[in-house]
Structure 1
Amino acid sequence: MPEPSIRVARPDDEGELALLDRETWSTLHAVTPPPRPPYDSFFSERSGPRDHRVAEHGGRIVGYVRLGFPTELASNTHVRQIRGLAVAEGARGLGVGRALVRAAVAEARERGARRITLRVLGHNTAARKLYESEGFVVEGVQPEEFFVGGAYVDDVLMGRSLR
């Protein structure tokens, strides 16, 4: 697969992104219950199309990354946070996740952020390796923060400087 093309999400992507979100749901990364009908909207007031970058291949969306703020505090606006990342099953291992992480880092820089952070479940080793390879470091661990899939799971806080 050639490099995926990355672009800003559009309002009309909502259905395809919502479907991707449902298809990629897993206890490997989700702390919420599995999605069930009626499904919530993918975009929200807090996280609209402008806050998402999508990866396309062959005319269809194969992944997305959501970029937001870690808090709503004015004193924290110099930090952006990756608040979601998904890659379609058929596109995994082909560089889509890496391209999306890099797009999020570039976007955070363009918006003037000094840092970018994320949270990842401790047992999600593939995601953790990807983030580490892109310069993120573990900044904290909340042991057994979540109970998912019948097990207690650590919440790993990662970040990197953008300066």
Structure 2
Amino acid sequence: MSAAPRIRTATLADEDALGRLDRDTWSTLHAVAPRPQPPYEPFYSERFGPRDHLVAELDGRLVGYLRLGFPTPLACNAHVRQILGFVVAEEARGAGVGRALLRAAREEAVRQGARRITLRVLGHNAPARGLYESEGFVVEGIMPGEFLLDGEYVDDVLMGRTL
């Protein structure tokens, strides 16, 4: 693999690869929705299209994405961006892909005029929480036992940072 991932805005042509990546990385470590089953829904939707996704490539192969959007449709909340999806392929973990996507998301949020960036992460996802903390995110709230996953109650952790 190459030294550094290439980060870019997604295109319509990325849709199939993004859908496959999403399905291949599905895990209750980070997903609260049931495992996707055929026939699969399109990756892009009316709400989120290519412009809302940053993708990471290593050696020309798509290995990660981050979906950046608004936490609510309210004008009074328009200064905040939220990470609404974040996936790195198993074989690309530890190669700086997640960190590069987070930093690109921060830059994009600033470019869009945002003052804050937030996210939600499952309490048992220690690797993701460690990455977020190392990039300046702090825990701003915990919803204890919010999800029942694999027979265990899991916290929903709200994290954020000022831009």
Same fold per superposition (TM over 0.5): yes
Q: CA deviation at 1:66?
A: 0.3
Per-residue CA distance 1:50-91 (angstroms, 9 max, x = gap): 000000011110000000011111110100000011001110
Which amino acid counterpart does residue 81 of structure 1 have in structure 2? Answer: Q
2:46 alignment partner in structure 1: 45
| In structure 2, C-alpha distance between the alignment counterparts of 1:152 and 1:137, rounded to whole Å | 22
1:146 alignment partner in structure 2: 147
2:31 alignment partner in structure 1: 30
| In structure 2, C-alpha distance between the alignment counterparts of 1:17 and 1:132, rounded to whole Å | 26
Residue 88 of structure 1 pairs with residue 81 of structure 2: no
2:124 alignment partner in structure 1: 123
| In structure 2, C-alpha distance between the alignment counterparts of 1:150 and 1:30, rounded to whole Å | 14
Q: Which runs of 5+ in 1 are unaligned?
A: none
Q: CA deviation at 1:45?
A: 1.2
Using structure 2 for the length normalisation, give the TM-score: 0.98
2:5 alignment partner in structure 1: 4
2:69 alignment partner in structure 1: 68
| In structure 1, C-alpha distance between the alignment counterparts of 2:53 and 2:115, rounded to whole Å | 19
Q: CA deviation at 1:46?
A: 0.9
1:109 alignment partner in structure 2: 110
What is the CA RMSD across the aligned residues, in angstroms? Answer: 0.6
| In structure 2, C-alpha distance between the alignment counterparts of 1:149 and 1:61, rounded to whole Å | 29
Which amino acid counterpart does residue 39 of structure 1 have in structure 2? Answer: Y
| In structure 2, C-alpha distance between the alignment counterparts of 1:146 and 1:42, rounded to whole Å | 24
Which amino acid counterpart does residue 126 of structure 2 have in structure 1? Answer: T
Which amino acid counterpart does residue 108 of structure 2 have in structure 1? Answer: E
Using structure 1 for the length normalisation, give the TM-score: 0.98
> For 1:130, what is the secondary structure of its paired residue?
helix
> For 1:132, what is the secondary structure of its paired residue?
helix
> For 2:66, what is the secondary structure of its paired residue?
strand
Q: CA deviation at 1:140?
A: 0.2
| In structure 2, C-alpha distance between the alignment counterparts of 1:82 and 1:2, rounded to whole Å | 25
| In structure 2, C-alpha distance between the alignment counterparts of 1:89 and 1:121, rounded to whole Å | 18
> For 1:147, what is the secondary structure of its paired residue?
strand
2:137 alignment partner in structure 1: 136
Q: Which runs of 5+ in 2 are unaligned?
A: none
